[in-house]
Amino acid sequence: MNDMTASTDKRRGQAIAGVLSGVLVFAVLVAVFVLVRKDPDDTPVPTAAPTSMAPESFDQEPVVTTGSGTLTEMVIKERIPGTGPVVKTGQTVSVNYKLIGYTSGEVIDSSWKNGKGEPISFEIGVGKLIQGWDKGIPGQKVGSRIQLDVPAALAYGPERGDLRFVVDILSAQ
């Protein structure tokens, strides 16, 4: 009979331990719920707007904004610094570009089609292109994205006006 009493005592102890474990799990769940639940008096805290835009990338069509006034000289602005070799006069360069009217913002031409660049290639600095490109691209590094603000006199003349190009220099050979 001692074996039976020991067995019954063991089962009773296991049953009590099981009940206590269940009660403990329930108490923990209630505590978590109470601590995590949102207080009805909570008001959302405003978050600050992002202070800068994501960096530009050759994988994305450039955003080109308008200029103001009239250009009297060409202005070159580096938007993405290149790390490749310097472009030399007479080399064939491969580029993506976007052209807008300087003050109108009207897209005049672009190698970007359906959000994807379709590069063009040409010989630079030998009089086959507008003077703004022949003067503005040599000296830049491959891998650069530059903005060329070209006065009408170095572009297509007064009928087309001042122009703004954004040019991705992909290669030079």
In this predicted structure, the answer to whether residue 155 has a pLDDT above a threshold of 60 is: yes
Q: How far apart are CA 118 and CA 96, in angstroms?
A: 7
Residue 20 burial (CB count, 10 A): 10
pLDDT tens by residue, 95-145: 999 999 999 999 999 999 877 889 999 999 999 999 999 999 999 999 999
pLDDT value for 17: 65
DSSP per-residue string spanning 15-41 = HHHHHHHHHHHHHHHHHHHHHHSPPTT
Q: Where are the alpha helices (DSSP H) in the chain?
A: 2-36, 131-136
pLDDT value for 25: 64
Report field, pTM of the whole predicted structure over 0.75: no
* Tokens 């003067």 -> residue: 135
Domains and CATH numbers, the chain: 75-172 (3.10.50.40)
β-pair type (145-150, 75-80): antiparallel
